[in-house]
Structure 1
Amino acid sequence: MTITRRQWMQGLALAPALTLADARAGAEQGKASFVPEDLAGDFEVVRREICLDNARWHPMSRGARAQVDAYMTYKQRGVWQPPDLIDRLQTGVKRNFATLINADVREIAYVTSTTAGETMLAASLELPGEGVNVVTDGLHFEGSLYLYGAMRKQGMDVRCVRPTPDWRIDLEDMQRAIDRKTRLVAISLVSFVNGFRHDVKALCDLAHAHGAVVYVDAVQAVGAMPVDVRALGVDAMGSASYKWLMGDFGLGFLYVNQGLIPRLRRRVYGYRQLDRFDYHAFPGDAPGTWPASWSQHEDAAGYFEIGTYANATLAALSSSLPQILNLGPDKIQAHAQTLIALLQRELPRLGYVAMTPADAGSPIATFIVRNAEDTRARLRRAGVDVSVQGSRMRVSPSIYNTRRDVEKLLEALA
């Protein structure tokens, strides 16, 4: 297949950056309502098996795949000519993500992963440090617990709140852990373990009263449910794109509230942070005491963007983010909850004890399994894909999943 520059401009590069007004207008016209059966044809996985493991990594839609293919054709050509279409693509995707979480685009930085964003943010807060502490919890991401556990081994005061017997993180337990020496409170908005969702607004109010910064890992939330950083009051938030944003590996987002920027130290450096760069070493250059001079962006990108990122994933996101905005995160959440309600009602009758609070409202439902090998075998024979790790089974339906998909899982385990 060949593609002309005009076709490229009409396809990949013209996947628009939607504004909040665009998304609201679409909802008013009924575009945010959807029928899962109508969307199923856009996902190749539906033809082969029942995928109820979208919290691991989300299948890529045909539309996103088409944008990736168009990018690969562009890259195969190799000849670079301005205006650079990749720059346009990066700008549009970042604006769409900012719209999705109700942020200003200057508050968004591209990062390689959620973990990379959290690690860099902690470093910019000069952690690990003496005389301060970090508060996290046992339902936070395992990579994050490793990060703060490593700080603890270096002698830093790290406080990790354990889950309650009903698999929640109690706000009063967090309150007892946070004090005037707390520099960072780091949590997952939705736990990857069991879908528990923090009362983030209440936690932010509590942390801010003590002068602490709140970081939220939203990789299991953004794209699957409404997330409004202004309403929540979070200082920083990270997400990857290969889960509910329906992109791929190698690209994520870090939101940093502009008001937090003056409190940060630059700990990583790269050309994408630069607002201006001038040489003073070559013929025709202005004289200078150093071979080069520069100024940096004073925003999220200016502190956390480093080098090149995954352009093919950007291409996928140029399709998937507009789709999410048009469908509406509230509608996506409501659809998943109808399927999770069925699981929460029926699986305990089959002996699978729920680990997910009934009011979580997240796209994840986790259950305790008595015999993991038997559960895996039953689901494998039925062609149903979920996550079974240790004594836990995690089910995570998405926009293309139907009630029949859940019924097949129940039939397999009955």
Structure 2
Amino acid sequence: MFSCSRTSSPGSATCTTAAPCQERQNEVAACEVAEKDLQEGMQEGKEQIKELNERFAKYINNTVLNLQRKNKELLAELKKLEKEEFIAVEKAYQKDYQDFQARVDEIQNELVLLKLEKDKLKARLEKECQLKREFDRDFQHLKKSYEDATAGLEKLQCQYKLLEAQLAQLKLVRDQERIYWQQKVDNLQNLDQAESNTLDLEQALRNMRQEYDQMARRNKEELQRYRHKFEENSVPLQKIKKETETYRNMVTDLRLRDEMHKNHLQEKEREISRIKEYNKSLDKKIEAQTTDFQTLVAVKNGLEQELSGYKSLLNQVEKKARDYNAPVCITAPPPPPPKPAEDVNKMCNARSVEQWCVNDVEKLIQLDEVGAPGIVIGVSVNGKEVWSEGDNNYQTVTVSPEWHPAL
């Protein structure tokens, strides 16, 4: 590289050797400047990373911890509201259940009373039916007696008419005989007979008159006896007629009462059917209330499971936050002086890492602004992601491993 002629002068040799030295000095100076720039860039990158770490720690302290506290407050409020809602629902259910139970007990009591009243009415109806059968039997017996009495009365009336006809005939015969004997007596009076014959005739007339008087007396007594017997039979007949009329009125009254009892029983049966239908509707309502209560219990169990999941997530977040809050070794021993090409590459990589960290922090800040309406569920500080729950959606930002403060 360095060549010098033997024939050259000393000055020219000095000139030729001085040029390479100057170039070497320039190269050394350039290397020193590059190394200095590299050291300054690395120092500046470390300061920026340190500043970013401080900003991120401050963000964690100011945002994540506040969100954790808000989560705890919201969970406490959610538990309180859930407890109040459960108590209110339970009170309403207990009230409705007690009202329905009281109504069911009342209806059952009414049903028992109606059954007792039905049994009483049934016993009374059986008694009335038995009385009606006895009355029908007595009525048939009295009807038979009435028919017998009517037949006897008709027979007595026929005998009375026959006796009247016989009496009229006897009166006619008596009058004819009286006229005949009167004429005969008149004819005999005109004759002059002996006194003995006249006496005998008068005696015969007296005897005949006595016989006719006795016959008339017997007929009159028999007629009086028939009349008295007719009167005696007419009194029981009138009594039987009155009793028959009374029994007819009683039958009419019993029929009316029977109709009234039938109508009353029909009304009671309709009321019992209405009560049964109402009991069925109450059973359906109770089943619906029970189904709603079971649904509420299932919802409560689901909420408890979700709350347990939230608690586990919060515990993980707190654990990761505690891991993040652990002391981190930021001051590391300076690396050995690299070669110029490697230093330039590391400086470029440091600048790219710095730019990547700035972009990730901006994304994290934007994520916090986007996720503000929701609830932040967790932040992974030593992992790979920060995630938040907004309005029914999840947003995820992936952070590169080079962003960790320990790097």
Q: Which protein is richer in strand relative to its size?
A: 1
Quick check: which has more Rg, 1 or 2?
Answer: 2
| TM-score > 0.5 by shorter chain | no
Q: TM-score, normalised by structure 1?
A: 0.16
